[in-house]
């Protein structure tokens, strides 16, 4: 780490651990950004998968522990914490969702806590885990799954699939297509309607994922820049205020993803006439 | 090749600058309306604050997406090597 130039350090730290077909045809981890790029579609970012699954499992285990040992008379402190979160999510769902669906509230809770935990990995100091993993033999390691476009698009495309599924289920295939074709102008402006509605429908998952990705990537990049360009005795001065601001950004982005999921799925459930 | 790098640097600067301009003006208007509403009806402040943060995240989204693309241009420029 010590001898490399700042640009090399920065590009090393924003590179995922990609597993795929390397330049000489064998299957293994990529050693540079160009090698990872030429792996193409048939490659997997192992660090993203590992950290997202680990945070998901942590969420499930911790919340299951709270619900399994739940008691009305003598609630444990962890049960009270979980109840706070669940009440907040339930309040948001009641406010914004007008249909009737048992999936929405657990989905929103999962989205909020899972994205929050994944974003929280960004507060671990920049070199801790990558250096430890380098000692273990892995060349790159990015701990924050939501800085990988693949992770955020995976989540938003799943929400998009749910939007289309519930749209067709609630309105029928004809009603769903009719809404695309006849809103906002009347039947006469069919092509205009189709273009507008398709663009706005595609913009929803796109903006959902890119908003989360952009915020997290910019945050992580600022941490890496501070680590690369600032002498070690000044790093504390810059990194601490940014980390404190980043706590707000983390929670806010998880909350926004959850709220927009609720709103979009609510729109999919709306039957006009 | 130098002109590709030079224009990428210029593009990154313009993207970040214009994004910051839009975000600044938008969030300023949002904040001022929130303060006005809070002054008129202080009992609504918790609800208004929650909505304000939601709107803040939405307004910030496109400028931050443009910052992410500008960072892409700065550190992993896809245009280098395309022109023969």
Instruction: Please name which of A40, A44, A39, A46 lies closest in space to residue A22, comparing C-alpha atoms.
Output: A39
Rounded average pLDDT over B69-81: 82
Tens digit of each residue's pLDDT (9 = 90 or more) over A31-89: 777 777 777 788 888 889 999 999 999 999 999 988 888 888 888 888 998 999 999 99
In chain B, which residue's Cα lies nearest the Cα of A204? B58
On whether residue A179 sits in a domain, the answer given is yes
On whether residue A254 sits in a domain, the answer given is yes
Helix (H), strand (E) at residue A134: helix A128-135
On whether residue A1 sits in a domain, the answer given is no
Local mean pLDDT, 10-residue blocks, chain A (273 residues): 71 84 79 78 88 94 88 85 92 87 92 94 86 83 90 94 92 86 80 87 91 91 88 88 92 93 89 67
On whether residue A61 sits in a domain, the answer given is yes
Contact status, residue A164 vs residue A173, Cβ threshold 8 Å: no
Q: Which of A11, A33, A252 sits opposite B53 (nearest CB)?
A: A252
| B83 pLDDT higher than 70 | no
Enter the pTM of the model.
0.88
Average pLDDT, chain A: 87
Q: Which residues contact A74 (CB under 8 A, 6 or more apart)?
A: none
**How many pairs of residues across A and B have Cβ atoms under 8 Å apart?**
46
Residue A171: which region, alpha, beta or left (left: phi > 0; alpha: psi -120 to 50)? alpha
Interface test with B, best of A213, A217, A261, A264 (most B CBs within 10 A): A217
On whether residue A110 sits in a domain, the answer given is yes
List A21's β-bridge partners, or say none.
A27
Residue A1 DSSP label: -
Q: How far apart are the C-alpha atoms of A39 and A20, rounded to whole Å?
A: 6
Domain count, chain A: 1
Q: Which chain A residues are Cβ-neighbours of B56 within 8 angstroms?
A: 252
In chain B, which residue's Cα lies nearest the Cα of A95? B47
Structure tokens at A38: 């030429």
Predicted pLDDT at A75: 83
Interface test with A, best of B30, B58, B71, B79 (most A CBs within 10 A): B71
Give the domain extent around A136: 6-269
Predicted pLDDT at A3: 56
pLDDT band at B84 (very low <50, low <70, confident <90, very high): low
Q: How far apart are the C-alpha atoms of A248 and A226, rounded to whole Å?
A: 19
Tens digit of each residue's pLDDT (9 = 90 or more) over B41-59: 999 998 898 889 888 888 8
Average pLDDT, chain B: 89
On whether residue A261 sits in a domain, the answer given is yes
Predicted pLDDT at A1: 47
């Amino acid at each position: 780490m010590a001898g490399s130039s700042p640009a090399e350090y920065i590009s090393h730290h924003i590179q995922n651990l990609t597993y795929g077909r390397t330049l000489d045809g064998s299957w293994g981890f990529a050693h540079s950004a160009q090698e990872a790029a030429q792996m193409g579609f048939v490659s997997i970012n192992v660090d993203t998968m590992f950290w997202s699954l680990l945070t998901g499992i942590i969420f499930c285990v911790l919340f299951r522990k709270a619900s399994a040992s739940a008691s009305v008379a003598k609630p444990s402190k962890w049960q009270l914490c979980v109840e706070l979160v669940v009440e907040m999510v339930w309040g948001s769902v009641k406010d914004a969702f007008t249909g009737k669906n048992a999936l929405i509230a657990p989905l929103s809770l999962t989205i909020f806590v899972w994205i929050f935990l994944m974003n929280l990995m960004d507060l671990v100091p920049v070199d801790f885990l990558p250096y430890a993993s380098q000692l273990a033999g892995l060349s790159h390691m990015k701990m924050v799954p939501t800085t990988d476009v693949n992770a955020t698009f995976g989540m938003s495309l799943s929400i998009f699939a749910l939007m289309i599924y519930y749209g067709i289920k609630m309105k029928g295939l004809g009603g769903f297509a009719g809404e695309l074709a006849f809103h906002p102008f009347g039947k006469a402006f069919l092509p205009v309607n189709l273009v507008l509605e398709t663009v706005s429908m595609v913009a929803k998952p796109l903006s959902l994922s890119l908003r989360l990705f952009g915020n997290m990537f910019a945050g992580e990049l600022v941490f890496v820049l501070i680590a690369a360009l600032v002498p070690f005795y000044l790093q504390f001065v810059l990194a601490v205020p940014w980390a404190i601001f980043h706590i707000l950004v983390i929670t806010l982005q998880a909350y926004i993803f959850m709220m927009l999921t609720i709103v979009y799925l609510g729109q999919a459930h709306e039957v006009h006439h | 090749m130098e002109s590709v790098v030079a224009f990428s640097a210029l593009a990154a600067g313009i993207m970040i600058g214009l994004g910051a301009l839009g975000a600044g003006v938008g969030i300023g208007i949002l904040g001022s309306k929130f303060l006005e509403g809070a002054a008129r009806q202080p009992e609504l402040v918790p609800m208004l604050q929650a909505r304000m943060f939601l709107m803040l995240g939405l307004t910030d989204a496109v400028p931050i997406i443009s910052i992410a693309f500008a960072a892409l241009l700065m550190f992993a420029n896809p245009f280098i090597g395309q022109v023969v």
